[in-house]
């Protein structure tokens, strides 16, 4: 299909590359002209403005946004919508707050413009591994966008089917899913990221306990120097706590066993806060997710080895740069 892509950062550019590899026609724009030129050299149609992107697309148009959540997304949606017509589609693939999606979808529907929110997980590895996609919006818009979603998703791959699933694999088994109406895609992605906070915190604290087994204050007979990189490696193989996050942890510890390249100053990107806020609104206990978020707040005042590991994991999966150590 033909797709307009606005925002050619770490994820947006690689999503365009994955789409083009499967034969989709991509028209691209970014505030950085060099990012546009790079993808134009690789086969995309580069344009110099949002107006140029919309004009280059054949109606009915589909425009996918990969820009930072908040005001940047708000302004971009408004700028794109001003150029679109009835029957066109805007897709927000960033990390917007799901309540903003509900509002935008309602406002655009009055003008006959479709709106979808697609929570996108995959980070800097998505070009190679594919992206996990959680879509919210009208069913007809999902059906129209599905060829692109199927290309961007990992596919069935080598993952064993869940017992009881039979017949043709569902979209979810391929790595993308229609969650429901507008807002549901980013709601599901928000909780996904909240869970990610908790998993990362558990790994960080666990490895910190193992590292502290060598502390001087322990009885000598109970004092152990453990090779954390080797422990992470063995846990990857047959353990019930194996995961991609553990794979990235093992890679980080192998490269820098003491994590000297990290301060342990851990940012939060918004979804963790929104997850806890939503849990409060729904009166749902979320002890682990709340504690993981507060640990990130505390990390900006005092740093532990666990927080250095969180920084290392964020760099591995998302290319997020934390403050370097002195």
Q: Going residue by residue through the chain, which has 326 residues, state the pLDDT in tens, using 9 for 90 and above.
A: 999 999 999 899 999 999 999 999 999 999 999 999 999 999 999 999 999 999 999 999 999 999 999 999 999 999 999 999 999 999 999 999 999 999 999 999 999 999 999 999 998 889 999 999 999 999 999 999 999 999 999 999 988 999 999 999 999 999 999 999 999 999 999 999 999 999 999 999 999 999 999 999 999 999 999 999 999 999 999 999 999 999 999 999 999 999 999 988 888 878 999 999 999 999 999 999 999 999 999 888 878 899 899 989 988 887 777 654 44
Give the pLDDT score at 322: 66
Give the pLDDT score at 108: 98
The DSSP call for residue 325 is P
Which positions are annotated as active-site residues?
A: 189, 196
Give the pLDDT score at 267: 86
First to last CA, the chain: 49
Q: Which fold has domain 2-182?
A: Rossmann fold (3.40.50)
Task: Copy the structure tokens of residue 75.
Answer: 């302004």
* CATH 3.40.50.720 placement within the chain: 2-182
* 121 neighbors 131 (Cβ within 8 angstroms): yes
What kind and span of H or E run contains 316?
helix 305-318
Give the pLDDT score at 325: 44
Give the pLDDT score at 323: 57
Dist. CA 185–CA 93, nearest whole Å: 9
What kind and span of H or E run contains 121?
strand 114-121
* 318 neighbors 273 (Cβ within 8 angstroms): no
Q: What is the DSSP string of 285-312?
A: --HHHHHHHHHHHHHTTS--HHHHHHHH
Give the pLDDT score at 319: 76
Q: Which fold has domain 189-318?
A: 1.10.1040
Q: Is 110 exposed, middle or buried (0-12, 13-18, 19+ CB in 10 A)?
A: exposed
């Amino acid at each position: 299909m033909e797709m307009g892509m606005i925002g050619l950062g770490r994820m947006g550019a690689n999503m365009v590359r994955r789409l083009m590899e499967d034969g989709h026609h991509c028209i691209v724009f970014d505030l950085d002209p060099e990012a546009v030129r790079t993808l134009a050299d690789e086969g995309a149609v580069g344009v110099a403005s949002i107006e140029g992107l919309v004009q280059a697309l054949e109606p009915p148009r589909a425009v996918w946004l990969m820009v930072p959540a908040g005001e940047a997304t708000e302004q971009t949606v408004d700028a794109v919508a001003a150029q679109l017509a009835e029957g066109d589609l805007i897709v927000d693939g960033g990390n917007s707050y799901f309540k903003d999606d509900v509002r935008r979808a309602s406002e655009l529907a009055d003008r006959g413009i479709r709106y979808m929110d697609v929570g996108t997980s995959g980070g800097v590895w998505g070009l190679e591994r594919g992206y996990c996609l959680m879509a919210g919006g009208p069913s007809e818009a999902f059906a129209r966008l599905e060829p692109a979603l199927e290309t961007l998703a990992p596919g069935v791959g080598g993952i064993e089917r869940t017992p009881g699933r039979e017949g043709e694999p569902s979209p979810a088994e391929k790595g993308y899913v229609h969650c429901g109406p507008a807002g549901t895609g980013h709601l599901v992605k928000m909780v996904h990221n909240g869970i990610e906070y908790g998993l990362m915190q558990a790994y960080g604290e666990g490895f910190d306990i193992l590292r502290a087994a060598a502390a001087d204050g322990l009885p000598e007979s109970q004092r152990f120097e453990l090779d954390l990189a080797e422990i992470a490696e063995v846990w990857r193989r047959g353990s019930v706590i194996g995961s991609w996050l553990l794979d990235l942890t093992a890679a980080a510890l192998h490269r820098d066993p003491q994590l000297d390249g990290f301060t342990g100053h851990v940012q939060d990107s918004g979804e963790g806060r929104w997850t806890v806020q939503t849990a409060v609104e729904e009166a749902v206990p979320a002890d682990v997710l709340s504690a993981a978020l507060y640990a990130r707040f505390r990390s900006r005042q005092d740093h532990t080895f666990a927080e250095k590991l969180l920084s290392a994991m964020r760099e591995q999966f998302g290319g997020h740069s934390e403050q370097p150590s002195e």
